[in-house]
C-alpha cells in the first residue's frame, strides 16, 4: 500500500479544455456566482447555493487530502462537527462573542486534527480510511453522550450569526458573499499550500514515501501538518454550517453525513479542488429535487454514486470532459492550436 | 504501481515503529482496567461479575461472526468492505422472512446466509471486479452498495424492528448457583467457536485454505503458479458475506433487526479488526473478545459513556501496537 | 505550472470581486437580525405571508425515513383523516400522496409532504424546504421531541408562517421560552405520564422503582412526568438507566438493577420494550412488574409478550373511548386506510393538530394576508372536542387535555383511569414549576 489508488488521482481528462475556454468558463462561473443572489429563487439561492458553499468547504478538505496526500479521511465530518459544537456552545450557553467563539471552534478543531493525524497518519490507504472512520464515529458518539457540553441528541439550538462591522451576516445575501469569500480563501490557501515546500513534500510522500524519507523528509510530520491544514478548512466549513443552520446536533456528524461528504468529493472529482463545490451543488440538487420525483431518492443517489465511481475516476466533471473529447472525435475538425490530443493525455500519477 | 504494492510486505499497511510487541501486555492492561472499574464500584457481587463476563463473551461471539468475514475479505481482496454491515442487515431481514414463512430457525440461518453470500458474490462479480486492484474505489463502491441496501430494506421490511426469535430448543434460561442466563446466548458463543474452528480448519488444513493464505501473502506469485486467483477472490468475498449474513440471523434472533444496525455492525467490525489486527482471523477472535468484554464491563460500570470506552480501547491499542493485537509485524 | 498560476490569479480575482460585492451589498441590509433565533433566515417566496396566490399551502412533516418510519406513516394517515373529514379527496393511500378538492374561503388547500429521520438536523432541513422552497403558509409537524425544539427555534425567525406541532412531546418546546407562532394541541411527554406516578405509589404501593429509557429529551420528560408525583407520594428511584438510542442489548444494564425493586419504569420505544422484557426475563429479575411509557405498550408489544404483558400499567393521551367522536374517527381511519393499525398516539396526535389547523382556517375563512394575525388568534382561542376528549390551549399555546391510565388485561390495553384536563405544569403553580430544573438525565432525583 505504498501508493494510492491511481484512478482517483488521475487528472488527465480535464485538460481537454484549452486555456482560452477555461478563461471563458471561469468568467461565466464567477459572474454567475456574483449575481446569483439577484437572479435565483430565494430557496435555490439559500438552500442550494449557500448550503453547497459550506458543504463544499467541508468536502474540499477531503478532496485536498485525497488529491495531494493520498489520504481518504472519513474524520472530516467529525472535525467540522467539533468546530461547529465549540462555536455553538460558547456563543449560546456561555454568551461568548460569535467571532471569538468561531476562532475558538476552529482552534479546538485543528488541535483535534493534529491529534487524529498523529494517530492515523502512520497508516496508509484503506487502513487510514478505516481508522479515520472509527475516529469520526467516536466523535459522533461523543456528541451524542457528552451532554454537559453537547446537550446530547437535541444538540444546541439558536446559534446567532454575527455581523461584520456594520454588515449583518444574518441577511442571506451578506452571508452568501461571506461564505463565498471564505470558500475562495480556503481554495486559494489549499492550492497555495500544495505548491509550498511542505505541500510538495506531501505529494512526494504520497508518491513514494521511501524516496521522500531518503531525501530527508519526515513523512509523519509532513502528513500530520497536511492533515491539520485540511482540518482548518473543514473547521471553517463547520463554523459556516453552524451559522447557516443556527443549530448543531449529532446528526450533523453522523455516518450519513460522512458518506455525504465522501459522495460529494467523488461526484465532484478529485482532479481539481473546485470539484468539491460542484459535487456539493450536485448532491444538494439531487437530494432536494429527486425526492420530489421518487420515494427511492436515496437509492437513486447511491446508484449515481456507484455509477460515477465505476465510470469516471474524475467524477462528474471528468465524465463531462470525456464526453467533450468523445464529441470532438466524432466531429472531425482541425484541432485548435495548443489542444492536447486525447491519446497523449498525461499519465495518472 | 501494482508492482510496488505487490513487492511491499503487508506490514506496510502501517508505516512506523512497533514500540511494544507484547500482545499480552495490552490484554493485561485491559483486564486490569476492567478490574479497577469493578473495585472502584465497590461491588463484590460475584453474580454480577459472572453475568458481565458471560454477556461480554456472547457479544464477542456475535462480533466475531461478523468481523471474521470482514477480515477475510480484507486480508485477501484488500477491500475494506464498508457494506459489511449491510450484509448483516440483509441477512437478518431475509432470515426473518424465512423464519416467518417456514417456522424453521435453522433454515432461516442457513438460507439467509446463503442468500447474502449470493448477493455478495454477485456484487463482487458485477461491480467490484470492474475496479479491480484499486482499493479505494472498491471501498467507495461498497459505500454505494450500503446506501442502496439501507434504502431498499427500509422499503421492503419497513421501519419497525423485527424479531426473528430464538429457536424453541434454546428459548429459555438455565440456573447455576443463582446465576440465571439465557441458553441461546450461550449457544451463540458455541456457534462462534464452531465457526472459528471451521475457519481455522479451512485455512490451515485444506488446499483452498492454503491457496487463500498464499493469496494473502502474495497474489502475484500465486497467480504465476497457475491458481485462478479471480475465482478464489470471488469465493472469499462470498464467504465473507456468508459470515455477515449468518451473524445477521444469529444476532437478529435475540436482539431483533432494524434500520441502523448496518452502521452499528460495520463499526463493530472495524473496531474488532483494527484492535485485533487486519486480515487475521485469530486477530478477529482476539479483537472480538477484547471489544465484547470491555463493552459489557463499561455498560455495567460506566453506562453513559460505554460506547466511548470501547473506542478508547481501540485508541490505546493503536498507540502501542499500530498493527493491532495479532497483526502481522513482519 | 502556467496552469496553476492561471488558477491562482483566477481564484484571487474571484476572492477580490466577492469581497467587493459583499461590502457593496452590506449597506443595503436593513434587517437588524433576530436577537434569539439563529441561522440564516432564508426569506420565503412570499414576503408578507399573504396567500394572494389563491392557494393555502399546508406543509406536513413527519418521519418517513429511518428507524421511525412506521410512526411517520401512522402520523400522516391521522393528518389525512382530518383533511378527509373537511372534504378533501386523497390522491392515494401512500405516505406521500397529496390531496385535492378542498377549499377554504375560496382558496384551494394544497398539502405538501416532507419527511425527516427523527433527528433535529433532518427536521430542520425539511422545515426549511417546506417554508423556503414550497412556501407553505402553515406547517404541521414534527413528530419527535428534539425535532420540535429545533423547529421552534426556526419558527421564531418566520413569524409569517404558522407552526402547528405534530406529536413532538418535548416539554420545553412550549414551557420555557416559547415561540409566538408555534401551537401545540397535543400534550407533552411529561403530561402523558399524568396519573401514573401517583397510581404506582398509592394504588400499587410501590416504594422503589428503577427507570430505564433512551438518552434523549422525550424519555427525560416521560421519566420526569412519572417521577414528580411518584416521589412526592413517598416513592424512591435509586437508579435511572439511560441507554443510547438504538440499544438492542440491555442485558448488561439489567444486571446492574438492584434485586429488591418493586417495579421497573420502561420509557423505551415499542419494539425495544419487547427486547428489554425478554432479556429481563432471562435474568434473576424475571417477572418484575413493568410500568410503561406512552409509546412503550402498543398492540405489537402486547402480542409479542403474550401472557407476560398482563398487568403492565402505562399512561398516555390516547384511549379507545366510548364516545361518538372516537368511534367516528376510528371508522374513518379504517375506511380510508384499510391497512392502518387501530388508532394510536401518532395518528390521533396528527389528526388533532390538523383538525385544529383546518378549524381555525375555516373560522377566519382562509384569510392569511394579515400576517396570520387572525389565524393565530383563532388557533389560540380554539376549543376542540377530539376523539380523546376536549382540548384547549394555555397562555403558552400548549394543550390542556385529558390523560389516561391503562392496564393490559386479557391481551389488550384497558382504560382504568381518566385524569381530566392535565395542564403543562401538572397542576403546580407555573412559576414554581418553571423554577425547577428542566427534566434531564439527573433531574428530577429521589434516590
How large is the ipTM?
A: 0.81
| Contact: B14, A127; criterion CB under 8 Å | yes
A187 closest CA partner among A127, A236, A119: A236
Please compute the mean of the pLDDT values over residues B29-47 and round it to a whole number: 56
Residue B210: partners with Cβ closer than 8 Å, 6 or more residues away: none
Q: Find the closest chain C residue to B297 by CA distance.
A: C252
As a whole number of angstroms, the distance between CA A65 and CA C26 comes to 35
The SS3 call for residue C9 is helix
Residue B175 has pLDDT above 90, yes or no: no
Query: For residue C25, which residues of chain A lie inside 8 Å, CB to CB?
Result: 37, 173-174, 177
**What number of other Cβ atoms are within 10 A of residue A11's Cβ?**
18
β-strand pairing of C162-164 with C182-183: parallel
C298 and C352 both lie in a single domain: no
pLDDT tens, per residue, chain C with 447 residues? 344 444 444 444 444 444 433 333 333 333 333 334 577 766 544 444 444 568 999 999 999 877 788 889 999 999 999 999 999 999 988 888 899 999 998 899 999 999 998 889 889 989 988 998 888 999 999 999 889 999 999 999 899 999 999 999 999 999 988 999 999 999 999 999 999 999 999 999 999 999 999 998 899 999 999 999 999 999 999 999 999 888 889 999 998 999 899 999 999 986 788 889 989 998 889 999 999 999 888 877 888 888 888 999 999 999 989 999 999 999 999 999 998 888 999 999 999 999 999 999 999 999 998 999 999 999 999 999 999 999 999 999 999 999 999 999 988 889 999 999 999 998 888 998 889 899 999 989 999
Nearest 10 degrees: CA dihedral of C427, C429, C435, C441?
Answer: -10
Q: Tell me whether residues A243 and C154 touch, CB distance under 8 A.
A: no
Residue B219 predicted with pLDDT over 80 = no
In angstroms, the CA B18 to CA B325 distance is 11
Most confident of A107-111, B278-282, B310-314, C273-277: A107-111
Largest Cα–Cα separation, chain C: 85
Q: If you average pLDDT over every residue of chain B, what do you get?
A: 83
% of chain B exceeding 70 in pLDDT:
86
- Are residues C294 and C355 both part of a single domain? no
**Does residue B12 belong to any structural domain of this protein?**
no
Tell me, what's the pLDDT at B42?
45
Q: Which residues in C lie closer than 8 A to residue A33 (C-beta atoms)?
A: 14, 18
Are residues C178 and C312 both part of a single domain?
A: no
Mean pLDDT of B236-257: 94
Task: Output the domain CATH number for residue C221.
Answer: 3.40.50.2300
Q: Domain range holding C417?
A: 191-316+410-435
Residue B196 C-alpha cell reads as 472459528
Q: List C-alpha distances in Å: C96 to C79, C90, C102, C347.
A: 12, 11, 17, 15
Q: What's residue B54's pLDDT?
A: 92
Give the best residue of A66, A77, A255 to mutate against chain B (max B CB count within 10 A).
Answer: A255
State the pLDDT confidence band at B19, using cuts at 50, 70 and 90.
Answer: very low
DSSP secondary structure letters along A172-236: HHHHHHHHHHHHHHHHHHHHHHHHSHHHHHHHHHHH-HHHHHHTT--HHHHHHHHHHHHHHHHHH
C301-to-A344, C72, C180, C294 alpha-carbon distances in Å:
67, 18, 39, 12
pLDDT at position A8 over 60: no
Of the pLDDT bands very low, low, confident and very high (cuts 50, 70, 90), residue A332 is low
Q: Is residue C429 part of a domain?
A: yes
Choice among A254-258, B67-71, B157-161, C106-110 with the minimum mean pLDDT: B157-161
CB contact under 8 Å between B256 and C69, yes or no, is no
For residue C41, is it within any domain? no
Q: Do C282 and B182 touch (CB under 8 A)?
A: yes
Q: Quick one: DSSP state of residue B257?
A: B
The answer to whether residue B8 scores a pLDDT higher than 50 is: no
| H or E element that contains C408 | strand C399-409
Q: Using CA atoms, how far apart are residues A231 and A120, in angstroms rounded to an integer?
A: 14
Measured between alpha carbons, how far is C269 from A295 in angstroms, rounded to an integer?
Answer: 25
Those residues whose C-beta lies under 8 Å from the C-beta of residue C75, and which sit 6 or more positions away, are: C62, C63, C143, C166, C167, C346, C347, C349, C350
Report in angstroms the alpha-carbon separations of A232 from A110, A253, B137: 6, 17, 26
DSSP strand pairing (C99-100 vs C103-104): unpaired
Per-residue pLDDT at A278 exceeds 90: yes
Shared domain for C60 and C208, answered yes or no, is: no
Same domain, yes or no: C220 and C291: yes
Residues C79 and C196 both lie in one domain: no
Question: Given this model, what pLDDT does residue A13 score?
Answer: 47
Does a structural domain hold residue C343? yes
For the segment B72-88, the average pLDDT, to the nearest whole number, is 90
Q: What are the φ/ψ torsions at residue B299 (nearest 5 degrees)?
A: -65, -30
**Structural domains of chain B, count:** 1
Looking at chain C, which residue has its C-alpha nearest residue B50? C255
Distance from CA of B201 to the nearest CA of C (A): 32
Per CB-CB distance under 8 Å, the chain B contacts of C242 are 303-304
Which A residues in the span 23-62 are in contact with B, Cβ-Cβ below 8 Å?
A: none
User: What is the DSSP-derived secondary structure letter of residue A163?
Assistant: E
The answer to whether residue B221 is domain-embedded is: yes
Does residue C363 fall inside a structural domain?
yes
Angle at B255 between CA B254 and CA B261, to 5 degrees: 145
What is the three-class DSSP state of C156?
A: helix
* Contact (CB, 8 A) for C374 and C138: no
A110-139 pLDDT tens trace: 999 999 999 888 888 777 888 898 899 899
Q: Do the chains contact at B15 and A313, CB–CB below 8 Å?
A: no
Chains that touch B (3 or more CB pairs under 8 A): A, C
B159 chain-C contacts, CB cut-off 8 A: 66-73
Q: In this structure, is residue B249 part of a structural domain?
A: yes
Does the pLDDT of residue A345 top 60, yes or no?
A: no
Query: Does residue C197 fall inside a structural domain?
Result: yes
Q: What are phi and psi of A18, to 5 degrees?
A: -75, 165
Whether residue B147 is contained in a domain is answered as yes
Cα distance between residue C393 and residue C383, in whole Å: 8
Bridge partner residues of B75 (DSSP): none
Residues C337 and C363 in one domain: yes
Task: Tell me if C428 is assigned to some domain.
Answer: yes
Burial class (CB in 10 A: 0-12, 13-18, 19+), C400: middle
Full domain range(s) for residue B127: 2-6+24-29+45-320
Question: In the 8-state DSSP scheme, what is residue A161?
Answer: P
Does residue C289 share a domain with residue C198?
yes
Residue B14 lies inside a defined structural domain of this protein: no
Question: Considering the domain A6-344, what is its CATH architecture?
Answer: Orthogonal Bundle (1.10)
Residues C84 and C195 in one domain: no
pLDDT at C9: 43
pLDDT of residue B31: 56
- Domain shared by C265 and C142, yes or no: no
Q: Is residue C218 part of a domain?
A: yes
Domain residue ranges of chain A, discontinuous segments joined by +: 6-344
* Residue B90 in domain: yes
Q: Residue B260 and residue C67: Cβ atoms within 8 Å?
A: yes
Who's near B169: CB < 8 A, 6+ residues apart? none
Is the model's pLDDT at A25 over the cut of 70? yes
User: In this predicted model, which residue has the larger pLDDT, C383 or B180?
Assistant: C383
Cα R_g (chain C), whole angstroms? 24
Q: Mean pLDDT across the stretch A243-259? A: 90
A61, pLDDT greater than 90 = yes
Is B246 part of a structural domain of the chain? Answer: yes
On whether residue C441 sits in a domain, the answer given is no
Check CB contact under 8 Å for C120 and A154.
yes
Q: Cα separations (Å) of B272 from A55, B290, B293, C244?
A: 32, 8, 12, 20
Shared-domain flag, residues C91 and C107: yes
Q: Chain C: which residues have CB within 8 Å of chain B?
A: 65-73, 215, 241-244, 246, 248-249, 251-253, 255-256, 270-272, 274-275, 278-279, 281-284, 286, 300, 304, 441
- Domain total in chain C: 2
Which of B45, B66, B88, B303 has the most C C-beta neighbours within 10 Å, making it the best mutation to test the interface with C? B303
Amino acid at each position: 500500500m505504498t501508493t494510492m489508488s491511481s484512478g482517483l488521482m488521475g487528472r488527465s481528462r480535464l485538460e481537454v479544455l484549452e486555456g482560452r475556454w477555461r478563461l471563458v468558463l471561469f468568467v461565466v462561473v464567477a459572474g454567475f456566482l456574483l449575481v446569483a443572489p439577484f437572479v435565483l429563487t430565494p430557496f435555490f439561492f439559500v438552500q442550494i447555493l449557500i448550503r453547497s458553499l459550506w458543504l463544499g468547504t467541508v468536502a474540499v478538505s477531503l478532496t485536498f487530502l485525497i488529491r495531494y496526500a493520498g489520504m481518504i479521511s472519513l474524520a472530516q465530518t467529525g472535525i467540522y462537527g467539533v468546530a461547529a459544537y465549540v462555536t455553538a456552545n460558547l456563543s449560546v450557553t456561555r454568551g461568548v462573542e460569535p467571532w471569538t467563539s468561531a476562532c475558538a471552534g476552529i482552534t479546538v478543531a485543528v488541535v483535534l486534527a493534529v491529534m487524529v493525524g498523529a494517530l492515523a497518519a502512520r497508516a496508509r490507504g484503506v487502513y487510514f480510511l478505516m481508522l479515520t472512520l472509527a475516529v469520526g464515529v467516536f466523535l459522533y458518539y461523543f456528541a451524542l453522550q457528552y451532554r454537559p457540553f453537547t446537550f446530547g441528541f437535541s444538540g444546541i439550538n439558536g446559534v446567532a450569526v454575527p455581523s461584520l462591522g456594520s454588515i449583518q451576516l444574518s441577511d442571506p445575501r451578506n452571508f452568501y458573499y461571506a461564505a463565498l469569500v471564505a470558500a475562495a480563501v480556503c481554495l486559494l490557501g489549499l492550492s497555495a499550500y500544495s505548491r509550498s515546500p511542505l505541500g510538495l513534500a506531501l505529494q512526494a510522500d504520497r508518491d513514494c514515501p521511501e524516496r521522500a524519507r531518503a531525501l530527508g523528509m519526515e513523512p509523519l510530520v509532513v502528513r500530520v501538518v497536511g492533515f491539520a491544514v485540511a482540518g482548518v478548512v473543514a473547521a471553517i466549513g463547520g463554523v459556516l454550517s453552524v451559522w447557516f443552520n443556527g443549530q448543531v446536533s449529532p446528526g450533523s456528524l453522523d455516518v450519513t453525513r460522512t458518506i455525504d461528504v465522501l459522495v460529494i468529493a467523488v461526484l465532484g472529482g478529485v482532479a481539481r479542488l473546485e470539484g468539491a463545490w460542484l459535487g456539493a451543488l450536485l448532491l444538494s440538487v439531487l437530494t432536494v429535487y429527486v425526492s420530489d420525483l421518487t420515494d427511492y431518492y436515496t437509492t437513486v443517489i447511491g446508484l449515481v454514486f456507484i455509477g460515477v465511481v465505476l465510470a469516471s475516476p474524475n467524477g462528474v466533471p471528468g465524465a463531462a470532459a470525456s464526453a467533450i473529447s468523445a464529441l470532438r472525435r466524432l466531429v472531425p475538425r482541425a484541432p485548435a492550436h495548443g489542444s492536447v490530443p486525447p491519446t497523449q493525455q498525461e499519465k495518472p500519477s | 504501481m501494482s508492482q510496488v504494492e505487490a513487492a511491499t510486505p503487508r506490514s506496510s499497511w502501517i508505516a512506523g515503529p512497533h514500540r511494544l510487541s507484547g500482545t499480552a501486555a495490552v490484554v493485561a492492561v485491559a483486564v486490569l482496567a476492567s478490574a479497577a472499574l469493578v473495585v472502584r464500584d465497590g461491588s463484590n457481587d460475584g453474580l454480577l461479575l459472572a453475568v458481565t463476563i458471560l454477556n461480554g463473551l456472547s457479544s464477542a461471539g456475535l462480533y466475531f461472526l461478523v468481523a471474521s468475514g470482514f477480515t477475510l475479505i480484507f486480508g485477501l481482496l484488500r477491500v475494506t468492505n464498508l457494506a459489511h454491515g449491510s450484509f448483516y442487515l440483509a441477512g437478518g431481514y431475509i432470515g426473518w422472512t424465512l423464519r416467518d414463512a417456514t417456522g424453521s430457525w435453522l433454515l432461516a440461518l442457513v438460507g439467509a446466509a446463503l442468500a447474502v453470500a449470493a448477493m455478495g458474490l454477485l456484487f463482487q462479480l458485477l461491480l467490484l471486479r470492474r475496479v479491480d486492484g484499486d482499493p479505494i474505489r472498491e471501498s467507495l463502491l461498497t459505500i454505494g452498495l450500503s446506501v442502496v441496501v439501507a434504502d431498499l430494506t427500509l422499503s421492503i421490511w419497513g421501519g419497525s424492528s423485527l424479531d426473528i426469535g430464538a429457536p424453541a430448543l434454546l428459548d429459555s434460561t438455565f440456573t447455576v448457583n443463582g446465576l440465571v442466563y439465557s441458553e441461546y446466548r450461550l449457544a451463540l458463543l458455541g456457534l462462534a467457536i464452531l465457526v472459528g474452528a471451521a475457519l481455522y480448519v479451512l485455512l490451515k488444513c485444506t488446499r483452498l485454505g492454503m491457496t487463500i493464505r498464499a493469496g494473502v501473502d502474495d497474489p502475484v506469485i500465486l497467480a504465476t503458479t497457475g491458481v485462478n486467483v479471480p475465482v478464489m477472490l470471488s469465493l472469499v468475498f462470498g464467504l465473507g458475506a456468508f459470515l455477515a449474513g449468518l451473524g445477521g440471523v444469529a444476532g437478529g434472533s435475540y436482539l431483533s433487526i432494524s434500520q441502523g444496525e448496518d452502521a452499528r455492525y460495520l463499526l463493530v467490525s472495524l473496531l474488532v479488526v483494527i484492535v485485533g489486527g487486519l486480515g487475521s482471523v485469530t486477530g478477529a477472535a482476539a479483537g472480538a473478545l477484547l471489544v465484547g468484554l470491555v463493552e459489557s464491563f463499561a455498560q455495567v460500570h460506566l453506562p453513559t459513556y460505554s460506547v466511548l470506552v470501547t473506542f478508547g480501547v481501540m485508541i490505546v491499542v493503536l498507540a502501542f501496537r499500530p498493527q493491532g493485537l495479532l497483526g502481522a509485524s513482519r | 505550472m502556467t496552469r496553476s498560476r492561471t488558477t491562482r490569479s483566477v481564484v484571487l480575482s474571484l476572492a477580490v470581486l466577492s469581497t467587493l460585492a459583499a461590502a457593496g451589498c452590506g449597506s443595503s441590509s436593513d434587517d437588524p437580525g433576530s436577537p434569539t433565533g439563529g441561522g440564516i433566515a432564508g426569506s420565503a417566496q412570499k414576503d408578507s405571508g399573504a396567500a394572494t396566490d389563491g392557494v393555502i399551502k399546508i406543509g406536513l412533516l413527519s418521519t418517513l425515513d429511518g428507524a421511525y418510519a412506521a410512526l411517520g406513516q401512522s402520523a400522516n394517515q391521522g393528518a389525512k383523516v382530518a383533511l378527509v373529514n373537511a372534504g378533501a379527496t386523497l390522491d392515494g393511500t401512500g405516505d406521500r400522496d397529496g390531496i385535492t378538492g378542498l377549499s377554504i374561503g375560496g382558496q384551494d388547500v394544497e398539502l405538501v409532504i416532507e419527511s425527516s429521520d427523527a433527528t433535529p438536523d433532518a427536521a430542520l432541513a425539511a422545515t426549511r424546504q417546506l417554508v423556503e422552497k414550497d412556501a407553505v403558509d402553515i406547517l404541521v409537524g414534527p413528530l419527535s421531541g428534539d425535532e420540535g425544539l429545533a423547529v421552534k427555534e426556526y419558527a421564531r425567525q418566520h413569524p409569517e408562517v404558522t407552526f402547528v406541532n405534530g406529536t413532538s412531546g418535548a416539554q420545553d418546546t412550549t414551557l420555557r421560552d416559547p415561540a409566538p407562532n408555534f401551537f401545540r394541541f397535543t400534550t407533552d411527554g411529561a403530561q402523558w405520564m399524568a396519573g401514573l406516578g401517583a397510581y404506582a405509589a398509592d394504588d400499587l404501593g410501590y416504594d422503589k422503582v428503577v427507570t430505564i429509557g433512551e438518552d434523549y429529551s422525550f424519555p427525560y420528560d416521560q421519566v420526569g412526568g412519572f417521577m414528580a408525583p411518584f416521589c412526592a407520594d413517598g416513592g424512591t428511584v435509586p437508579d435511572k438507566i439511560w441507554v443510547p438510542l438504538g440499544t438492542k442489548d440491555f442485558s448488561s444494564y439489567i444486571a446492574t438493577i438492584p434485586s429488591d425493586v418493586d417495579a421497573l419504569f420502561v420509557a423505551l420505544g415499542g419494539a425495544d420494550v419487547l427486547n428489554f422484557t425478554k432479556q429481563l426475563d432471562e435474568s434473576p429479575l424475571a417477572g418484575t412488574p413493568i410500568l410503561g411509557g406512552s409509546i412503550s405498550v402498543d398492540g405489537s408489544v402486547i402480542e409479542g409478550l403474550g401472557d407476560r404483558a398482563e398487568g403492565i400499567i402505562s399512561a398516555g393521551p390516547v384511549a379507545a373511548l366510548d364516545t361518538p367522536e372516537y368511534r367516528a374517527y376510528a371508522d374513518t381511519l379504517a375506511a380510508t386506510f384499510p391497512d392502518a393499525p387501530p388508532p394510536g398516539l401518532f395518528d390521533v396526535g396528527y389528526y388533532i393538530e390538523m383538525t385544529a389547523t383546518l378549524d381555525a382556517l375555516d373560522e377566519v375563512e382562509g384569510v392569511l394576508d394579515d400576517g396570520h394575525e387572525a389565524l393565530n388568534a383563532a388557533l389560540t382561542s380554539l376549543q376542540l372536542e377530539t376523539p380523546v376528549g376536549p382540548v384547549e390551549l394555555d397562555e403558552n399555546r400548549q394543550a390542556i387535555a385529558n390523560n389516561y391510565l391503562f392496564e393490559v388485561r386479557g391481551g389488550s390495553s384497558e382504560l382504568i383511569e381518566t385524569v381530566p384536563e392535565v395542564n403543562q405544569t401538572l397542576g403546580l403553580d407555573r412559576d414554581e414549576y418553571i423554577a425547577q430544573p428542566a427534566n434531564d438525565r439527573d433531574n428530577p432525583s429521589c434516590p
